[in-house]
Chain A
Amino acid sequence: MTDFKLNRRAFLKTAAAGAAGAGALGLPTMASAAGLTIGIVYVGPRDDFGWNQAHAEAAKVLKGVPDVTVVEEENVPETVAVAKSMESMINLDDAKMIFATSFGYYKPFVLDLAGKYGDVQFRHAAPLWTDEDPKNAGSYFGYLDQAHYVDGVAAGLSTTSNRLGFVAAKPIGTVLRNINSFLLGAKKVNPDAEVQVIFTGEWSLPVREAEATNALVNANCDVITCHVDSPKVVIETAEARGVKTCGHNASQAPLAPKGFITGAEYKWSTIYTQYAADLAAGKTLPNFIGAGFDKDFVQNTPYGAGASAEAIAAADAARAEVKAGKPIFTGPILKQDGSVLVGAGASLDNYDPMLDRTDFLIEGVIGSIT
């Protein structure tokens, strides 16, 4: 029954669009309408101390923008369920812009719907968009590895064992890049530092995350950070074991009153409000935007009790350098297999496309991708 309705709506819309001869970009008309409805889909709960919370906090900012209505749905799995959620936002709530905030939403769900609804703008939170994809789809991304690099600088000056622990979800490019940058930050101030990584295999698996944290502390790591959807369990477990922590995605400072150093956070609100302003002004949205400290897309959590004065000074300096464009990947850097990533004296730009395709860990990281 519902399916029939949706199909009929979809048919009428397509027919109308065809009759009007509208192309794929029907933007200016929508801005003049009674306001803009933006749909946001989350993979988990909006208050998870992590990835989803970072997006939800930006959504709150977006709700404050005049003439913008935000519709949200949380706990939407990366299955055909997300296609249904987005389609109902388009058909029932009249959303003209969709933020699909989880990695697995893009292929095939966002791509399929972008083909089907040419007058709706789809933006996805991972650097996946390519030139072959529909023009009303796109990607936005904050290069969080820059913030993890700054974390690494602070962590490198906070460790006494020179062993830093990293609880990671899945060995995909963004996660590996964060691990690599974290180590490079630590090595900048502490050449003996190494990073031990444990992959849990899932974005959210509290019991195994706690086990992984305990295993890292038992393996003599005295600063723990992570890249999982909801770092609450990792930070709390590490705090209970008396080691220091660096956060991820959103502020976990209140969870670790003794050992929290700083954290790597997104600042999606910069991107979201910019999109809303562009739409209201009738501008064509860029298909891809990504930046780090330079455009205020990422930030570090305010320092906690675990940060020494020395660590704070070094981290602040490192952030200023990255903001000014100083490369994080400065040679010589070897990959784990011993091959040369960056030669001595050379460096990679912080937005080098090669880093988007990170499928390796660098020397100094203990742990395997497979």
Chain B
Amino acid sequence: MGDEGTLATVLLAMFAGAIRVSTPFLFVSLGECLTEKAGRINLGLEGTLVFGAMTGYALSLHTGSPWLGVLAAGLVGCVFGAIHGYLCKLPKVNDIAIGIALMLFGTGAAFFFGKPYIQPQAARLPSIPLGGWSDNPAVQQALEINPLFIIGFFLAVAMWWAFRNTRWGLVVRTTGDSTPAAVALGIDVDRVRLLATTVGGFFAGVGGSFLSLSYPGSWSEGLSSGQGLMAVALVIFARWNPLACFGAAILFGAAGALGPALQSVGISEGYHFFNAAPYILTLAILVVAVSPKRALRGAPSELSITK
């Protein structure tokens, strides 16, 4: 294998990894983006993701329909989001503390209910093969695209458009940027935040179902390895812009594929370093992006961390 071939293999693997691994990041970060745009932080999405993964797998197993699993995962995500949204609207409740509590609760409850589902094999989401034009099996595999990835992409575009161009988008943004202004406009601030958190939970639950129903495609207790938490960081990195969330999710997926891809072409010294690529990338980008002279650009000003 020549140098060119090696480089092509690694780039192809990163491209494929970006598509395969990014979907949970994408859905959770879109959910978090919506929640934060309305002025709340939901750190519990990691728990929602794990619980969604378990529920999706269980439903797919019992009904034989993976899409019902995705829907059920979204609905339990709604429940988690609604609990967060409701509790945070009570006076003097800290949304970060509630989020951490819900994260632990969601993970623990998923492990508890998920026991019987570690062994059986549930029906998985079908992929759309878009690589038929190529003779290369690696390319064909890379272009086995899951419908959820495509849905996630259009969701990101739709959210980006809606935040700018619709009345609902304006209401959410106003609520997130200034409670007094929103109240003056006659907006029911608590209700907007409750709904935003609930819908955000739906997205996170769907993201979880991708993990258990598509890639890697089975339920186990080590399934998440922190994707939900990293997605929350992605939102900050993406400056609360849904389109940037999509880009950030892709970037993280590609960085995660770097370690195994390099080892497969024989560059295996220092694999721990390459495996840590997504985290190094986050740090590097945050260091480059911050400035002591201004606040975080794009941050909703009602967020408890920026207030």
Contact = CB atoms under 8 A, between A and B. Distances in A.
Contacts of A2: none
Contact of B269 (A215, A254, A370): A370
B215 A210 contact: yes
A230 B222 contact: yes
A233 interface: yes
Interface string B254-280: 001101110111101111100100000
Nearest to B269: A368
Contacts of B211: 207
Given A211-B260, A236-B217, A204 B222 contact: yes
A219 B266 CA distance: 10
Contacts of B9: 218-219
B218 interface: yes
Main secondary structure of the interface of B (DSSP, over half): helix
Interface centre among B12, B217, B260 (most CB of A within 10 A): B260
A215 B21 CA distance: 13
Given A49-B119, A208-B260, A237 B216 contact: yes
A198 interface: yes
B166 interface: no
B119 A47 contact: yes
A165 to B, nearest CB: 8
A16 B233 CA distance: 55
A55 to B, nearest CB: 15
Given A45-B115, A48-B220, A75-B221, A212 B263 contact: yes
A198 B264 contact: yes
B16 interface: yes
A196 B264 contact: yes
A237 B217 CA distance: 8
Nearest to B268: A368
Contacts of A208: 225, 256, 259-260, 275
Interface in B38-57: none
Contacts of B222: 44, 204-206, 230
B118 A45 contact: yes
A217 B223 CA distance: 22
Nearest to B257: A211
User: Which bracket fits the contact residues of A?
Assistant: 35 or more
Interface string B156-195: 0000000000000000000000000000000000000000
Interface string B128-166: 000000000110010000000000000000000000000
A199 interface: yes
Interface centre among A45, A198, A206 (most CB of B within 10 A): A206
Given A206-B218, A211-B17, A216 B275 contact: no
Interface of B: 9, 12-13, 16-17, 20-21, 111, 115, 118-119, 121, 137-138, 141, 211, 215-218, 220-223, 225, 227, 256-257, 259-261, 263-266, 268-272, 275
15 contacts: A198-B260, A199-B268, A200-B260, A201-B275, A207-B211, A207-B215, A207-B216, A207-B256, A214-B16, A214-B20, A215-B261, A218-B9, A218-B264, A219-B265, A236-B216
Given A210-B20, A211-B20, A216-B264, 20 more contacts: A45-B115, A49-B118, A75-B111, A198-B268, A199-B268, A201-B259, A205-B222, A207-B211, A207-B215, A208-B260, A211-B17, A211-B259, A214-B260, A215-B260, A230-B222, A236-B216, A237-B217, A240-B217, A254-B121, A368-B268
